[in-house]
Amino acid sequence: MKKVGIIRCRQTEHLCPGTTDIKLVAGGKGSFEPFGPCELVGFVSCGGCPGKEAVARAKMLVDRGAEVVALASCITKGSPLGFPCPNRENMLAAIRAKLGDIPVLDYTH
């Protein structure tokens, strides 16, 4: 069972409790389907705009056991506000560069 860490948007955390993300991880659904059922080991925010803390937080998740890191759909798809993060591509690139071979998923659902 893979261990997963999720990074969410700080600006939407008051609108979304992350229940869909948590259910998808446990059930191996959404972007976690290739891994099957997974264990959630951490659920943190990006730290706020422009997301510069996301890299350090991704590394922290890996240091605490995450084998896969995912950006929540609030960042990449804009759920639930319909406004994707304008910094998402920079965050993804920086996180992937820092984590190397650790899979970094673009979205959760």
Whole-model pTM? 0.95
- Tell me the residue range of the domain where 46 lies: 3-105
CA separation for the pair 47, 76 (Å, rounded): 15
pLDDT of residue 83: 86
Residue 79: pLDDT above 90? no
Q: What is the CATH number of the domain that holds 65?
A: 3.40.50
Q: At what angle do helices 53-63 and 88-99 cross, to 10 degrees?
A: 40
pLDDT of residue 89: 96
Residue 101: pLDDT above 90? yes
Q: Indicate the number of domains in the chain.
A: 1
pLDDT of residue 99: 98
Say how many Å lie between the first and final Cα of the chain, rounded. 19
Tens digit of each residue's pLDDT (9 = 90 or more) over 32-59: 999 999 999 999 999 999 998 999 999 9
